[in-house]
Amino acid sequence: MAKANYEAVVIFSLKNGEDKIPALVEKFKTLIEANGTLDAVDEWGKRRLAYPINYENEGYYVLYTFEAEPDFPAEFERIANITDDAVRSMVVKIEKEEAVAKEEAPAAAETTETAAEEAAE
């Protein structure tokens, strides 16, 4: 089966202290690397939740971008759901066109500006 690109956001609980967060981030990073290719880990840090979850008002947000087989996101979600310190998680498939468009958008804007300046001269 062909690999696909995914983004996963995990919100970790802060009720047991922030010192456990690096170990949790590393746990999910290792899980992704064992089952696919990890592209990036973006730690958003401590943020206020939109509404209380399990009587908590804040969580530690982490965004993982990776490439994996289509059956891996279900396993990722399963492990996130049974991890006590993971409050919420979501995995979203990114289409190749969207990923390429995000990377090319700044370059296209620069090309358009350059062409407009040359036309003005």
Residue-level pLDDT at 31:
94
Domain residues of the chain, as ranges?
Answer: 4-95
Does the pLDDT at position 115 exceed 60?
no
Residue-level pLDDT at 118:
60
How far is C-alpha 66 from the geometric centre of its chain's CA atoms? 8
Which CATH class name applies to 4-95?
A: alpha beta
Mean pLDDT of the chain: 85
State the Cα angle at 82 between 76 and 85, rounded to 5°.
100
Residue-level pLDDT at 18:
87
* Long-range Cβ contacts of 103-110 (<8 Å, 24+ apart): none
pLDDT, tens digit (0-9, with 9 covering 90-100), for 58-73:
999 999 999 999 999 9
pTM score of the predicted model: 0.76
